[in-house]
Amino acid sequence: MYLYFGGEVSFESSMPFRKVGGAVREKLRGFERETLPNGMSDPDSDPLGDTYGTEFNNISIITTILGEGLQGMWEERRLIRRKEKWADIRLEIDYDKFVAADEHTQKLLYVKNIVDSIMAVEERKKGDFEGLKLIEDILLAVNVTKEQIENL
């Protein structure tokens, strides 16, 4: 299994998301597929194997932060394809809250979005997916506690 981290961001959230998102994703590189010299992901790499179960081969987490005029044009998505063994989760971070926050809080908001995305899969699992263990390992990798993100 591997994770894919992406983002759909707009306006003033773009640069801060790129900064904190890049720092967080750097710490989570071991959860993603390896990158080939041409910049593409190696489809044959499987960094997590069956560490978190065999129910899913990949989970895409696309964080969304949309500003004025764009918020009503988009809906969150929790798409799970059990037969194909993948999930595509697209949850939103409040634009105004993210833009007004300091860098540390922006990082926490992003990590919370990742955790919430994995919980969306965990809550709908039907097999051996170990989402809670995955969350623990991600929080450990980015040096964030559950308490830090609970009340954001």
In the chain, the N- to C-terminal Cα span, in Å, equals 29
- At 12 the pLDDT is 87
The alpha carbon of 141 is separated from its chain's Cα centroid by a whole number of angstroms, namely: 13
- At 38 the pLDDT is 55
- At 44 the pLDDT is 56
pTM: 0.88
- Give me the residues of the chain with pLDDT under 50, please: 36, 39-42
Q: In 3-state terms, the chain is what percent helix, strand and coil (to 5)?
A: 45, 20, 40
The alpha carbon of 111 is separated from its chain's Cα centroid by a whole number of angstroms, namely: 7
Instruction: Please report, for the chain, the start and end positions of each structural domain, with discontinuous segments joined by +.
Output: 2-150
Half-sphere exposure of 91 (CA within 13 A, CB side): 20
Residues in the chain: 152
